[in-house]
Structure 1
Amino acid sequence: MPIETLHVPTPDGPADAIVAFPDGGGRHPGVLMYPDGFGIRPALRELAAELAGHGYSVLVPNVFHRHGPTPLLDLPEHIDRDARPAIFARLMPMIEAHTTELVRRDAGPYLDALAARPQTAPGPVGVTGYCIGGLYAVHTAAAHPDRVAALAAFHAPVGAAGPESFRRITARAHFGHAASDLTSEQFDALERELDASGVDHRSEIYPGTVHGFTMPDTDAFDPAALRHHWDRLLPLLGATPTG
């Protein structure tokens, strides 16, 4: 699938991003894909290209653009447990500095840039995200309910969004949790909160998984869980009026 690099104007300067889209021209439903904390790299390019191959125009932003362009971190080809401490020592200050206010401030420009692409069909879009990017996807759906029709988040701290954000979501949603990320009691409490807020959603704990199960360049990767993620994400996008 073709992949291009672009720069998205935001109130705090340009954010670099990639966009993937199907071969053959035409306009396709849009999807804003938030990366995990490790950012844009070959694994995210592969995810974006895979989704584009199913008929979507996909934009992946560098969410930490205030700290510099991609690549922000010198990542190894494979991120194992030995590499994580040094990576997270640099990554966590960026995550902590990227407040909900900044997520919402950037969300509109990202959606505008996706809509402006000649490969993107007009109309509502899907938003998906991984790890911390899943939380950013939730905040985006809450901040722009008129523009986001489908929402998905995988191994993400969804509960951190809270009822204030949940009550504003009108998108149909899927939340795929890692088994290591929350207990059954925490899962049940989150479900009650989502139900009370009126979120039209489906949630699952993906059995036997650990945080980061979709990412093939980490030791958390679970090929079966990644396939299951596609089995949930694609029907959600396909059944939701986007584009």
Structure 2
Amino acid sequence: MEELKRQHDGAELRAYLFRPEKPAPSAHGVIVYMDIHGIRPALFEICERMASFGHTVLLPDVYFRLGPYEPCTPAEAAANEALRAERRAMRAKTPVDLTASDTAVFVDLLTSNGVTGKIATVGYCMGGARAMRAAHAAPDRVALVASFHGGNLATDDPSSPHLHLDGVRARFYVGAADKDASYPPEQAALFIETLMKAGVETVHENFNGCPHGWVFHDNPRIHNAAGAERHFARLATQFSECLN
């Protein structure tokens, strides 16, 4: 893992680069959009696993405008209302609409580190919507979007990703959590219908028995190990089909 820093939007952007031990024949990359809890070891492990598929992975800290902060696991936040409120405030100060300008910098960081081919964007929780907006911001580079337990993907908010599909060329893969209040069935139906009408290739999968946040092992109450492995298997398949 290599830490990268760059000045952007009046602040120091921090990002982490993971290079594969056995690179794929073509130079493709992945941008991982974090969940609400921010940068922490569990995310590093996920990125290392993605890099093992043969692609260079970039994990940017989307909270970079707010300055340094202490790492926080979902389990710690669940047990501490003040910590939960702090993370909600950090998310509110980093709206999804910032994704357009941020993605240009993230793509440039990958390109300057040898990624000249297509890019996949992968998002968790709040990162799902950001991964989708990235496909709109960089349609010539982003070939795949993958969202896992992403929420608010089709709302009446002007920033909702289903309202930003013009020019998108990527495949959208959605791994939906079971009984997710942030992505209820009616929202999923609207999301799928909108993408179909827009001609966006879409794969939508319900992870039954896997609650919101199931991928992360640092929340033992929520984590579903089998579901997490299934999510990696889906990513491997989507990468192989779209990053070639």
Aligned residue for 1:165?
164
Partner of 1:208: 209
SS of aligned partner of 1:168: coil
Question: Cα deviations across residues 136-163 of structure 1 (Å, max 9, x unaligned)?
Answer: 1111111111110111011112224244
Give the match for residue 57 of structure 1: 56
1:20 aligns with 2:18: yes
Could you tell me which amino acid in structure 1 is paired with residue 87 of structure 2? Answer: L
Tell me how far apart the structure 2 counterparts of residues 24 and 209 of structure 1 sit (CA, whole Å). 32
**What is the one-letter code of the residue matched to 1:185?**
E
TM-score, normalization by structure 2? 0.88
Q: How many residues align?
A: 235
Matched, 1:138 2:132: yes
After superposition, residues 122-201 of structure 1 pair within 5 angstroms as 122-157=116-151, 158-160=153-155, 161-181=160-180, 182-201=183-202
Contact 1:6 1:18 (C-alpha < 8 Å) held by counterparts:
yes
Aligned to 2:47: 48
Question: Structure 1 residue 88 and structure 2 residue 84: aligned?
Answer: yes
2:93 equivalent to 1:97:
yes
Q: What's 1:75 paired with?
A: 72
Closer, same or farther: CA 201–24 of 1 in aligned 2, 3 Å: closer
SS of the residue corresponding to residue 234 of structure 1 reads helix
Alpha-carbon shift at residue 213 of structure 1 (Å):
0.8
Q: Shift of the alpha carbon at 1:78?
A: 4.2
- Shift, 1:220, TM fit: 1.7
CA displacement at 1:77 relative to structure 2 = 8.6
Is the 8 Å Cα contact of residues 40 and 71 (structure 2) preserved in structure 1? no
- Aligned-residue Cα RMSD (Å) equals 2.0
What percentage of residue pairs aligned between the two structures are identical?
29
Amino acid aligned to 1:145? P
**8 Å Cα contact 1:38-1:73 kept in structure 2:** no
TM-score between the two structures when normalised by the length of structure 1: 0.89
Distance in structure 1 (CA, Å) of the matches to 2:100 and 2:72: 27
Name structure 1 gaps, 5 residues minimum: none
User: Cα offset for 1:74?
Assistant: 4.5
Q: Distance in 2 between matches of 1:193 and 1:15?
A: 34
SS of 2:122 mapped into structure 1? strand
Residue 210 of structure 2: SS of its match in structure 1? coil
